[in-house]
Amino acid sequence: SQTIHQWPATLVQPVGSPLSLECTVEGTSNPNLYWYRQAAGRGLQLLFYSVGIGQISSEVPQNLSASRPQDRQFILSSKKLLLSDSGFYLCAWSLTTRGHNEKLFFGSGTQLSVL
Amino acid sequence: AQSVTQPDIHITVSEGASLELRCNYSYGATPYLFWYVQSPGQGLQLLLKYFSGDTLVQGIKGFEAEFKRSQSSFNLRKPSVHWSDAAEYFCAVGTAGSNYKLTFGKGTLLTVNP
Protein backbone atom coordinates (compact mmCIF):
# COMPACT_ATOMS: atom_id res chain seq x y z
CA SER A 1 0.00 0.00 0.00
CA GLN A 2 1.03 3.56 -0.52
CA THR A 3 2.08 5.84 2.31
CA ILE A 4 3.21 9.42 2.54
CA HIS A 5 5.56 10.69 5.20
CA GLN A 6 5.96 14.33 6.04
CA TRP A 7 8.17 15.82 8.73
CA PRO A 8 8.56 17.50 11.07
CA ALA A 9 5.05 17.74 12.49
CA THR A 10 5.72 21.12 14.09
CA LEU A 11 8.46 23.66 13.62
CA VAL A 12 9.19 27.01 15.20
CA GLN A 13 11.73 29.12 13.35
CA PRO A 14 12.96 32.71 13.71
CA VAL A 15 12.50 35.21 10.93
CA GLY A 16 15.38 35.07 8.49
CA SER A 17 16.29 31.45 9.21
CA PRO A 18 16.32 28.76 6.53
CA LEU A 19 13.66 26.10 6.07
CA SER A 20 13.62 22.55 4.84
CA LEU A 21 10.51 20.38 4.93
CA GLU A 22 10.69 16.91 3.54
CA CYS A 23 8.07 14.60 2.12
CA THR A 24 8.48 11.06 0.87
CA VAL A 25 6.04 8.66 -0.71
CA GLU A 26 6.27 4.89 -0.57
CA GLY A 27 4.54 2.16 -2.48
CA THR A 28 4.12 3.88 -5.81
CA SER A 29 6.21 5.07 -8.72
CA ASN A 30 6.33 8.36 -10.60
CA PRO A 31 3.70 10.11 -8.51
CA ASN A 32 2.69 13.70 -8.99
CA LEU A 33 3.81 15.58 -5.89
CA TYR A 34 2.43 18.76 -4.36
CA TRP A 35 3.07 21.28 -1.63
CA TYR A 36 0.04 23.12 -0.29
CA ARG A 37 -0.10 25.78 2.41
CA GLN A 38 -3.07 26.35 4.63
CA ALA A 39 -3.02 29.76 6.30
CA ALA A 40 -5.59 30.59 8.94
CA GLY A 41 -8.90 31.49 7.34
CA ARG A 42 -7.54 31.23 3.82
CA GLY A 43 -8.09 27.64 2.82
CA LEU A 44 -5.59 25.61 0.87
CA GLN A 45 -3.19 27.25 -1.53
CA LEU A 46 -1.16 25.26 -4.03
CA LEU A 47 2.49 26.28 -3.84
CA PHE A 48 4.33 23.81 -6.06
CA TYR A 49 3.70 20.66 -8.00
CA SER A 50 5.97 18.21 -9.72
CA VAL A 51 5.26 15.59 -12.36
CA GLY A 52 8.75 14.10 -12.35
CA ILE A 53 12.29 14.28 -11.02
CA GLY A 54 13.67 17.78 -11.40
CA GLN A 55 10.37 19.12 -12.79
CA ILE A 56 8.89 21.79 -10.55
CA SER A 57 6.03 24.14 -11.30
CA SER A 58 5.48 27.14 -9.07
CA GLU A 59 2.00 28.48 -8.57
CA VAL A 60 2.63 31.45 -6.32
CA PRO A 61 5.61 33.84 -6.38
CA GLN A 62 7.26 33.84 -2.96
CA ASN A 63 10.50 33.21 -1.16
CA LEU A 64 9.90 29.47 -1.06
CA SER A 65 11.33 26.89 -3.45
CA ALA A 66 10.82 23.20 -4.02
CA SER A 67 13.01 20.41 -5.28
CA ARG A 68 12.52 16.81 -6.26
CA PRO A 69 15.87 15.06 -6.07
CA GLN A 70 14.35 11.58 -6.24
CA ASP A 71 11.19 10.12 -7.70
CA ARG A 72 9.38 9.92 -4.38
CA GLN A 73 10.98 12.77 -2.48
CA PHE A 74 9.76 16.34 -2.45
CA ILE A 75 11.43 19.11 -0.46
CA LEU A 76 10.18 22.57 0.39
CA SER A 77 12.84 25.13 1.21
CA SER A 78 13.48 28.72 2.00
CA LYS A 79 16.72 30.62 2.45
CA LYS A 80 15.16 33.25 4.72
CA LEU A 81 11.79 32.81 6.34
CA LEU A 82 9.28 35.64 6.64
CA LEU A 83 6.56 36.04 9.22
CA SER A 84 4.02 35.51 6.45
CA ASP A 85 5.41 32.03 5.83
CA SER A 86 3.72 30.76 8.97
CA GLY A 87 1.04 28.21 8.26
CA PHE A 88 0.18 24.57 7.93
CA TYR A 89 2.07 22.92 5.08
CA LEU A 90 0.71 19.84 3.44
CA CYS A 91 2.45 17.51 1.07
CA ALA A 92 0.32 15.41 -1.25
CA TRP A 93 0.69 12.92 -4.05
CA SER A 94 -1.48 11.62 -6.83
CA LEU A 95 -1.34 9.38 -9.85
CA THR A 96 -2.60 10.37 -13.25
CA THR A 97 -4.81 7.63 -14.62
CA ARG A 98 -7.16 7.77 -17.59
CA GLY A 99 -5.91 11.27 -18.26
CA HIS A 100 -6.73 12.87 -14.93
CA ASN A 101 -5.80 12.81 -11.29
CA GLU A 102 -7.89 10.32 -9.39
CA LYS A 103 -7.44 12.06 -6.07
CA LEU A 104 -4.85 13.59 -3.82
CA PHE A 105 -3.41 11.71 -0.87
CA PHE A 106 -2.29 14.11 1.82
CA GLY A 107 0.40 13.85 4.44
CA SER A 108 -0.33 14.76 8.04
CA GLY A 109 1.10 18.24 7.66
CA THR A 110 3.74 20.49 9.24
CA GLN A 111 2.69 23.38 11.42
CA LEU A 112 5.27 26.12 10.85
CA SER A 113 5.44 29.11 13.15
CA VAL A 114 7.80 31.89 12.18
CA LEU A 115 8.54 34.22 15.08
CA ALA B 1 -9.48 29.47 -14.31
CA GLN B 2 -11.64 27.38 -12.05
CA SER B 3 -12.73 28.52 -8.61
CA VAL B 4 -14.61 27.11 -5.65
CA THR B 5 -16.82 28.90 -3.14
CA GLN B 6 -17.90 27.49 0.18
CA PRO B 7 -20.35 30.12 1.44
CA ASP B 8 -20.46 28.91 5.04
CA ILE B 9 -17.33 29.46 7.09
CA HIS B 10 -18.72 27.81 10.22
CA ILE B 11 -21.75 25.59 10.79
CA THR B 12 -23.04 24.22 14.08
CA VAL B 13 -25.45 21.31 14.24
CA SER B 14 -26.73 19.04 16.96
CA GLU B 15 -25.72 15.42 17.03
CA GLY B 16 -28.27 13.36 15.11
CA ALA B 17 -29.39 16.28 12.98
CA SER B 18 -29.02 16.33 9.23
CA LEU B 19 -26.21 18.25 7.56
CA GLU B 20 -25.71 20.00 4.27
CA LEU B 21 -22.48 21.81 3.37
CA ARG B 22 -22.61 24.01 0.33
CA CYS B 23 -20.11 24.17 -2.49
CA ASN B 24 -20.32 26.17 -5.70
CA TYR B 25 -17.76 26.00 -8.45
CA SER B 26 -16.91 28.02 -11.50
CA TYR B 27 -15.65 26.24 -14.58
CA GLY B 28 -16.64 26.22 -18.22
CA ALA B 29 -16.72 22.47 -18.75
CA THR B 30 -17.57 19.42 -16.70
CA PRO B 31 -15.46 19.57 -13.56
CA TYR B 32 -14.01 16.86 -11.41
CA LEU B 33 -15.32 17.51 -7.90
CA PHE B 34 -14.06 16.38 -4.53
CA TRP B 35 -14.89 16.70 -0.87
CA TYR B 36 -12.12 16.35 1.70
CA VAL B 37 -12.30 16.34 5.49
CA GLN B 38 -9.59 17.56 7.83
CA SER B 39 -9.52 16.74 11.52
CA PRO B 40 -7.61 19.17 13.77
CA GLY B 41 -3.87 19.11 13.12
CA GLN B 42 -4.21 16.41 10.50
CA GLY B 43 -3.90 16.12 6.76
CA LEU B 44 -6.89 15.83 4.48
CA GLN B 45 -8.86 12.70 3.78
CA LEU B 46 -10.97 12.20 0.68
CA LEU B 47 -14.66 11.71 1.43
CA LEU B 48 -15.95 11.33 -2.11
CA LYS B 49 -15.41 12.43 -5.68
CA TYR B 50 -17.40 12.99 -8.85
CA PHE B 51 -15.99 12.54 -12.34
CA SER B 52 -18.97 11.53 -14.45
CA GLY B 53 -22.09 9.37 -14.47
CA ASP B 54 -24.55 9.29 -11.61
CA THR B 55 -24.80 12.76 -10.14
CA LEU B 56 -25.43 11.44 -6.63
CA VAL B 57 -22.16 10.20 -5.21
CA GLN B 58 -21.77 8.07 -2.11
CA GLY B 59 -18.69 8.47 0.03
CA ILE B 60 -17.18 7.20 3.22
CA LYS B 61 -18.54 7.77 6.73
CA GLY B 62 -22.12 7.99 5.48
CA PHE B 63 -21.61 11.14 3.40
CA GLU B 64 -23.06 11.79 -0.03
CA ALA B 65 -22.93 14.67 -2.47
CA GLU B 66 -25.00 15.66 -5.47
CA PHE B 67 -23.63 17.32 -8.59
CA LYS B 68 -26.08 19.84 -10.02
CA ARG B 69 -24.77 21.28 -13.25
CA SER B 70 -27.57 23.85 -13.56
CA GLN B 71 -26.64 25.30 -10.17
CA SER B 72 -22.88 24.74 -10.43
CA SER B 73 -23.09 23.07 -7.06
CA PHE B 74 -21.75 19.99 -5.32
CA ASN B 75 -23.28 20.04 -1.85
CA LEU B 76 -22.25 17.53 0.78
CA ARG B 77 -24.94 15.87 2.90
CA LYS B 78 -25.29 13.50 5.78
CA PRO B 79 -28.66 12.42 7.21
CA SER B 80 -27.51 12.10 10.83
CA VAL B 81 -24.38 13.77 12.15
CA HIS B 82 -22.15 12.12 14.73
CA TRP B 83 -19.91 13.97 17.18
CA SER B 84 -16.88 12.51 15.39
CA ASP B 85 -17.88 14.40 12.23
CA ALA B 86 -16.68 17.65 13.78
CA ALA B 87 -13.90 18.80 11.46
CA GLU B 88 -13.20 21.16 8.60
CA TYR B 89 -14.56 20.24 5.20
CA PHE B 90 -13.08 21.31 1.89
CA CYS B 91 -14.62 21.20 -1.53
CA ALA B 92 -12.24 21.05 -4.48
CA VAL B 93 -12.47 21.18 -8.26
CA GLY B 94 -10.12 19.71 -10.79
CA THR B 95 -10.30 19.98 -14.55
CA ALA B 96 -9.19 17.96 -17.52
CA GLY B 97 -7.14 20.92 -18.68
CA SER B 98 -5.18 21.05 -15.41
CA ASN B 99 -4.54 17.48 -14.57
CA TYR B 100 -2.01 18.21 -11.93
CA LYS B 101 -3.79 20.42 -9.48
CA LEU B 102 -6.97 20.87 -7.56
CA THR B 103 -8.44 24.21 -6.54
CA PHE B 104 -9.82 24.16 -3.03
CA GLY B 105 -12.49 26.21 -1.33
CA LYS B 106 -11.66 27.98 1.92
CA GLY B 107 -13.36 25.33 3.98
CA THR B 108 -16.35 24.99 6.29
CA LEU B 109 -15.75 24.30 9.94
CA LEU B 110 -18.35 21.95 11.40
CA THR B 111 -19.12 21.96 15.11
CA VAL B 112 -21.34 19.24 16.52
CA ASN B 113 -23.22 19.90 19.74
CA PRO B 114 -24.15 16.99 22.00
Nearest CB to A109: which of B34, B43, B90? B43
CA–CA distance, A38 with A40 (Å, rounded to integer): 7
* A2-6, A12-16, A61-65, B47-51, range with greatest mean pLDDT: A12-16
Summarised one tens digit per residue, pLDDT across range A12-69 is 999 999 999 999 999 988 899 999 998 776 778 889 999 899 999 888 867 899 999 9
Summarised one tens digit per residue, pLDDT across range B61-90 is 999 999 999 999 999 999 999 999 999 999
Q: Which residues of B touch A43 (CB under 8 A)?
A: 90, 104-107
Residue B94: CA count within 13 A, CB half-sphere: 23
Q: Give the CATH number of the domain where residue A96 resides.
A: 2.60.40.10
Number of domains chain B is built from: 1
- CB–CB of A43 and B99 under 8 A? no
Q: Give the CATH number of the domain where residue B43 resides.
A: 2.60.40.10
Q: How far is A44 from chain B (nearest CA, A)?
A: 6
DSSP calls for chain B: --EEE---SEEEEETTS-EEE--EEE-SSPPEEEEEEE-TTS-EEEEEEE-SS-SEEE-GGG-EEEEEGGGTEEEEEESS--GGG-EEEEEEEEETTEEEEEEE---EEEEEE-
Number of domains chain A is built from: 1
Domain of residue A83, residue span = 3-114
Nearest CB to A108: which of B9, B43, B103? B43
Predicted local confidence at residue A11, as pLDDT: 94
Domain of residue B15, residue span = 3-113
